[in-house]
Amino acid sequence: MMSLKGKGAITGIGETAYERASPFSAFELQIQASLAAISDAGLDPKDIDGIIPIGITGAPAEAFVMNFGIPDLRFSALAPLGGASGIAAVQCAVAAISAGLCNHVLIPAGRNVSSGARAGVRIHQMPQFHQVTEYELPQGAIAPAQLYAPMARHHMELYGTTSRHFAEIAVGIREHALLNDNALMKKPITIEDHQNSRMIADPFRLFDCSLESDGGAALVVSSAERARDMRQPRVVILGSGEGHPDSPSSITQRPDMTRLGIAKAAPRVFEMAGVTHADIDVAEIYDCFTYIVLCQLEDMGFCKKGEGGPFVEDGKLRLGGSLPTNTHGGLLSQAHMLGMNHIVELVRQLRGQGGRAQVDGAEIGLVTGYGDMGDGAMAIMARG
């Protein structure tokens, strides 16, 4: 059987400035980020022959063909997994390239929530969440914070996980954001600041919740073979996978509420990549909420289910720790860019372009995505 191991590489990355309220439309932000990624790869927009746009309500592939004058788009697809879409799209791109369907796939994302619907409203317009809209929304279960909080509360009651464990995640990621000029949050926070931040949806306090922000991010995926001769240091995708939780569209009906889709994908990804947990030098873990980071660490097997609190407590997720995590500041403190910023950051780290947050000697890293109530995706990448 053919494996995708080592077949694809991320050859271009691009980001706009992240802002609270961007003057640009989501599509314009996508275009800006796309041009940056294509230029980073040393390509011309007309070299792009595959497109997987992120965001099911965003601009279609045709919009990029029109604006870039792409002469022969040979492949387009959608990967509708919410915040896991970016990694799922990378996997889809590698599969298409490996099968000879196309050469360079653009994965563009753009977001302007300041001029559009915010999280609570968006969910209820999405057809896959019609049950949440019918049965839960009328009762006041509206926003992701409220829908995800019972997962965290269940974990706390079963395993003794505490809000201070969540705080350690928020504080460490904030430290990293302070090293990133393109991060929205500019002030350090302490565990006590977290504990004093206002309650949003118990057990989630304000500092457990990700930011709402505007911006664009884009990737170019090419074959690992072509990537040898392209502009940037090569970052190869060793393994990738997506996983969908039981009862994917209703958290309420999920038999084990503490098990996300990534629990199904992670063993496949480690096996495909042929690496172990100890080989991971840097991790970019989807952090819409602090608890979601903790749960994914367990689901990926970095510790046993229920041990995520003590696992993170010693500061190992901070720069200098054994598993530096969200070196860019994540969704919690850099910006909410649907996890595309996590993929961009992992590539930077593995190229050695991590700036003040560079993990010394980072050679192998992982990135995760989470979205749509529990879908997960994961990739392991390596330099060289």
Partner 1 sequence: MSIDLKPVPHATPESQSYWNGVAEGRLRLQRCSQCGLVRHYPQLVCTKCYSVAVEWIDASGRGTIHSWTVAHHAFHPAFKADLPYTLVTIDLEEGPRALGRLDLASQSKLHIGMAVQVSFPANDQGVKLPMFTAMV
Q: Would you tell me which residues interact with partner 1 (CB under 8 A)?
A: 119-121, 124, 130-131, 133-143, 145-146, 149-151, 153-154, 157-158, 198-204, 250, 252-253, 257
Tell me the closest approach of the beta carbon of residue 132 to partner 1, in angstroms. 9
- Residue ranges of the alpha helices (H) in 246-289? 262-273
Q: Which is nearer to partner 1, 118 or 228 (CB)?
A: 118
Write down the least CB distance from residue 290 to partner 1, Å. 15
Task: Tell me the two tokens of residue 57.
Answer: 């309500």
Nearer to partner 1, 80 or 120 (CB): 120
Reported as half-sphere exposure (CB side, CA atoms, 13 A), residue 42 has a value of: 12
Q: Which of residues 99 and 158 has its CB atom nearest to partner 1 in the complex?
A: 158
The residues with which 364 forms a beta bridge, in sequence order, are: 382
Question: What residue type is assigned to position 249 of the chain?
Answer: S
User: Which two three-digit tokens encode residue 246?
Assistant: 């039981």
Q: How far is CA 244 from CA 11, 44, 370, in A?
A: 28, 36, 10
CB-wise, 3 or 57, nearer to partner 1?
A: 57
Q: Which is nearer to partner 1, 105 or 147 (CB)?
A: 147
- Least CB distance from residue 122 to partner 1, whole Å? 11
| CB distance 335 to 213 below 8 Å | yes
Which residues have C-beta within 8 Å of that of residue 106, sequence separation ≥ 6? Answer: 34, 37, 38, 48, 50, 51, 52, 64, 218, 219, 220
User: Least CB distance from residue 117 to partner 1, whole Å?
Assistant: 9
DSSP 8-state assignment for residue 17:
-
Q: How far is the CB of 251 from partner 1 (least distance, A)?
A: 8
C-beta of 161: minimal distance to partner 1 in Å?
Answer: 13
Least Å distance, CB 330 to partner 1, is: 21
Nearer of residues 148 and 311 to partner 1, judged by Cβ: 148
Distance in Å, CB of 149 to partner 1, minimum: 3
* 22 CB burial (10 A radius; 0-12, 13-18, 19+): buried
Alpha helices, DSSP H only, in 2-128? 26-40, 61-68, 85-98, 119-123
Nearer to partner 1, 264 or 268 (CB): 264
Nearer to partner 1, 136 or 375 (CB): 136
Largest Cα–Cα distance in the chain? 58
Task: Indicate left, alpha or beta for 204 from its phi (over 0: left) and psi (-120 to 50: alpha).
Answer: beta
Which helix (H) or strand (E) segment is 383 a member of?
Answer: strand 375-383
Of 120 and 352, CB closest to partner 1: 120
Sequence-separated (6 or more) residues with CB below 8 Å from residue 383: 233, 234, 235, 236, 350, 351, 352, 362, 363, 364
Spell out the residues 6+ positions from residue 100 whose beta carbon is closer than 8 angstroms to its own. none
Q: How far is the CB of 202 from partner 1 (least distance, A)?
A: 4
